[in-house]
Amino acid sequence: MSSYLIETLKTRFPAAVLETHDFRGDETVLIKKEALPAAAAFLKDELGFDFLMDLTVADYLPREPRFELVCHFYSSKHNYRLRLKCPVAGTDARIASLTPFWAGANWFEREAYDMFGINFEGHPDLRRILMYDGFEGHPLRKDYPLKKRQPRIPHRD
Amino acid sequence: MGLETLFGHSYLTTRLDEAVNWARKYSFFNYPFVTACCGMEFMSTFASTYDIARFGAEYPRFSPRQADVLFVVGTVNEKLAPVLKRVYDQMCEPKWVVSFGVCATSGGFYDNYATVQGIDKIIPVDIYIPGCPPRPEAVLDGLLKLQQKVSTESVLDRKYR
């Protein structure tokens, strides 16, 4: 099954696909973030990707666009897998939420927001999911100080 | 058949500290504050193979108000720190704390934004048990060390640390 999904997406979104690669049948497509909702709808409704397996973010500081949204999809109907990535600028860390398409995106996006500070537009309840109230910053960003601690109660010394 | 039959209705003299500490060290009620994989070794220690009951410490109390020894078993993160502090504060004197495994002791390899670098940043600790996770033998050794420590204390001690 060589590059069927890549070719399909390239044909459907010729202006949005930035880069693709295919490694032993694992297909990856990098698209512009503006095209994400349209691509999501296409994947779900027409290609049968009914399962969002994972959604996360990678920080490529000092590169700009700094962040990359990484989504893994699975189609239980066709047994297809696809990795979809979107570059997100550090100066404008916003991207459309996938919650309208896959309800499971909800907590993934909250985690991505908590750890990387990406704002998912259209998310119903975008607040921290792992760190506590009062935690400042986003700890998995590459510029978060490695030794920085934010205790909730004073430490004994 | 026991020694007591030789003494009959007799009496023995001892120091109060000796008598009280003897009772304390062989009847620990422990509160397991279990957060991570160390809990598996903790359960093993308490189960029949290693049988911590041999040392009089088999009885977990799931209320800190009824417990003497707080076993902090596993990684404690900053989010959880106030909970641990509160559990400790609810325990009545005399009370002891055992730090079980390297994560509780020093944060272990979790030297990161989320993890408390040793529970002694939050509460005082009496015994540290090393290991990732510690073998049950190490836990029993830690318990014996705690018993030794208890036997050196006085009923007049007020820790209130």
A105-137 confidence digits (pLDDT tens): 999 999 999 999 999 999 999 999 999 989 999
Q: Which residues contact A154 (CB under 8 A, 6 or more apart)?
A: none
Chain B residues near residue A130 by CB distance under 8 angstroms: 114
Question: Is pLDDT above 60 for A48?
Answer: yes
pLDDT at A123: 93
CA distances from B87 to B31, B36, B64, B68 (A): 9, 17, 6, 12
Distance between CA A75 and CA A70 in Å, rounded? 17
Q: Say whether B113 and A150 touch across the interface (CB within 8 A).
A: yes
CB within 8 Å of chain B, chain A residues 94-133:
130-132
Distance between CA B44 and CA B49 in Å, rounded? 7
Instruction: Classify domain B28-151 at the CATH topology level.
Output: Rossmann fold (3.40.50)
Chain A residues near residue B81 by CB distance under 8 angstroms: 151-153
Residue B88 Cα, gap to closest chain A Cα (Å): 14
Distance between CA B31 and CA B141 in Å, rounded? 18
Distance between CA B79 and CA A149 in Å, rounded? 11
The 10s digit of each residue's pLDDT in B57-92 is 888 888 999 999 999 999 999 999 999 999 999 999
Distance between CA A50 and CA A33 in Å, rounded? 21
Q: What is the domain partition of chain A in residue ranges?
A: 4-121
Mean pLDDT, to the nearest integer, of A71-79?
Answer: 93
As for the ipTM of the complex, it is 0.82
Phi, psi (deg, nearest 5) at residue A155: -80, 150
Chain B residues near residue A157 by CB distance under 8 angstroms: 121
Out of B81, B113, B121, closest to residue A139 by CB: B113
Question: How many CB contacts within 8 angstroms connect chain A with chain B?
Answer: 36
- Six-digit token string for B154: 């006085």
One-letter-per-residue 3-state SS of A60-103: CCCCCCCEEEEEEEEECCCCEEEEEEEEECHHHCEEECCCCCCC
Distance between CA A103 and CA A72 in Å, rounded? 14
Out of B81, B112, B113, closest to residue A152 by CB: B81
Percent of chain A with pLDDT over 70: 99
Out of B112, B114, B121, closest to residue A156 by CB: B121
Confidence of residue B8 (pLDDT cuts 50, 70, 90): confident
pLDDT at B157: 76
pLDDT at A157: 75
Instruction: Classify domain A4-121 at the CATH topology level.
Output: Beta Polymerase; domain 2 (3.30.460)
Distance between CA B146 and CA B126 in Å, rounded? 7
pLDDT at B11: 81
The chain A residue lying nearest B84, using CA atoms, is A153
Question: Is pLDDT above 50 for B106?
Answer: yes
pLDDT at B159: 62
Question: Is pLDDT above 60 for B1?
Answer: no
Mean pLDDT, to the nearest integer, of A129-156?
Answer: 92
Distance between CA B33 and CA B42 in Å, rounded? 10
Mean pLDDT, to the nearest integer, of B122-142?
Answer: 94
Please report, in angstroms and rounded to a whole number, the separation of the first and last CA atoms in chain B: 45
Mean pLDDT, to the nearest integer, of A58-73?
Answer: 94
The chain B residue lying nearest A154, using CA atoms, is B122
pLDDT at B4: 72
Confidence of residue A2 (pLDDT cuts 50, 70, 90): low
pLDDT at B60: 86
CA distances from A103 to A58, A98, B31 (A): 22, 8, 40
pLDDT at A1: 46
What secondary structure does DSSP assign to chain B, as a single string?
A: --THHHH-S------HHHHHHHHHHT--EEEEEE-STHHHHHHHHHSTTT-GGGGT--EE-SSGGG-SEEEEES--BTTTHHHHHHHHHHSPSS-EEEEESHHHHH-TT--STTB-S-GGGTS--SEEE-SSSPPHHHHHHHHHHHHHHHHT--TT-----
Question: Is pLDDT above 60 for B133?
Answer: yes
Mean pLDDT, to the nearest integer, of A6-30?
Answer: 90
A24 near B CB under 8 A:
no
Mean pLDDT, to the nearest integer, of B112-136?
Answer: 93
Distance between CA B97 and CA B107 in Å, rounded? 16
Out of B85, B114, B120, closest to residue A153 by CB: B85
Confidence of residue A156 (pLDDT cuts 50, 70, 90): confident
Mean pLDDT, to the nearest integer, of B125-154?
Answer: 93
Confidence of residue B9 (pLDDT cuts 50, 70, 90): confident
